[in-house]
Amino acid sequence: MSYTPIQLLENWILRQASDAGQAWLDTQREAVASGDPKSLYLAFGFAPRKIGKADLELTERDLNDAAESRPGWQPQTWTIDQAARVLLLMSLPSEDDAAYLATIEKLFQTAEIREQICLYQALQLLPHQELFDDRLAEGIRTNIKTVFCAIAHCNPLPMELMSEPAWNQMVLKALFIGAALDPIEGLDQRVNPELARMLIDFAHERRAAKRPIPVELWRVAAPFADEIALEDMKALYTSGENLEKSAIALALVSTALDEADEILKTDPEVAKRAESGDITWRGIAEQAYASEN
């Protein structure tokens, strides 16, 4: 039995909402469906105080249903008000794509932080989502890390919609602001020489300034490693911390370069763990950002 995203959101809310909260949401969805933007603006704002802000209690099965209903959808960090807000957005009449876009855009322009997080995660489920590529590119210009992560992490839309320059900026900026790369959907599929060049320059710049280099960088840079990158990796593989060595080993193993083998030989122990699958990018990201979890 497969479900639509709307059915899933409805079920998840039904499980957790109070009767009053549920009744409020049903009423508001009807009002929004009548096409009045003002009722959407108010209901969108009031959702947390009417239905609460609890995390959705999702099972493994729920997450599988989600991925089946919308490939790439990962609602594990969603909250109940977020789910309610998305249902409100999906209740808005959408036959006229320009009008729909304008109303959603107005919400983006006037959103507070949690609303921005909700909106950027919501887009993947909305009608006319393909029209929001500029909005995504604008979104990653934010300085608010949690908003950035709502776009970059656990979200299939950047992979599907972003132009290569916007995608490259997103990955580079993630490293700049200390956001993990591993949760970016399509990270390995969308590697490209231009992105690798930017990352290699960045790593080199950081080494010159004696500042640490984010370890996940090598995952995206290694497929296009040039002389400079190999030299940096070699130096760090010799002198770096354990986590850095693990990341470089994993990056080198994934390339088929002869030079990579030469570097790996200098510490065969770590190389072996990288080859055997003992070290994974997910594990590295978890360790690198452990203090944030």
Binding-site ranges for other proteins (CB under 8 A): 38, 41-42, 44-46, 48-49, 53-55, 77, 79, 106, 109-117, 143-146, 291-293
DSSP string, 82-143: HHHHHHHHHHS--SSHHHHHHHHHHHHHT--HHHHHHHHHHGGGSTTGGGGHHHHHHHTT-S
Least separation in angstroms between residue 166's CB and other proteins is 22
- Contacts of 268 by beta carbon, 8 Å cutoff, 6+ apart: none
Question: Of the two residues 118 and 213, which places its CB atom closer to other proteins in the complex?
Answer: 118
Give which of 93, 94, 91, 145 is closest to 120, Cα–Cα.
145
Least separation in angstroms between residue 36's CB and other proteins is 11
Question: Of the two residues 41 and 224, which places its CB atom closer to other proteins in the complex?
Answer: 41
Least separation in angstroms between residue 116's CB and other proteins is 7
Question: Of the two residues 15 and 106, which places its CB atom closer to other proteins in the complex?
Answer: 106
Least separation in angstroms between residue 270's CB and other proteins is 29
Asked if 244 contacts 275 with a C-beta cutoff of 8 angstroms, the reply is: no
Least separation in angstroms between residue 256's CB and other proteins is 37
Least separation in angstroms between residue 17's CB and other proteins is 16
Question: Of the two residues 114 and 245, which places its CB atom closer to other proteins in the complex?
Answer: 114
Question: Of the two residues 11 and 110, which places its CB atom closer to other proteins in the complex?
Answer: 110
Q: Measure the CA–CA gap between 30 and 34, rounded to whole angstroms.
A: 7
Question: Of the two residues 183 and 223, which places its CB atom closer to other proteins in the complex?
Answer: 183
Residue type, 86: V
Give which of 49, 53, 40, 58 is closest to 20, Cα–Cα.
49
Question: Of the two residues 81 and 222, which places its CB atom closer to other proteins in the complex?
Answer: 81
- Contacts of 246 by beta carbon, 8 Å cutoff, 6+ apart: 215, 270, 273, 274, 279, 284
Asked if 134 contacts 106 with a C-beta cutoff of 8 angstroms, the reply is: no
Give which of 24, 29, 66, 73 is closest to 49, Cα–Cα.
24
Helices 113-122 and 97-109, axial angle in degrees (round to 10): 150
Least separation in angstroms between residue 285's CB and other proteins is 14
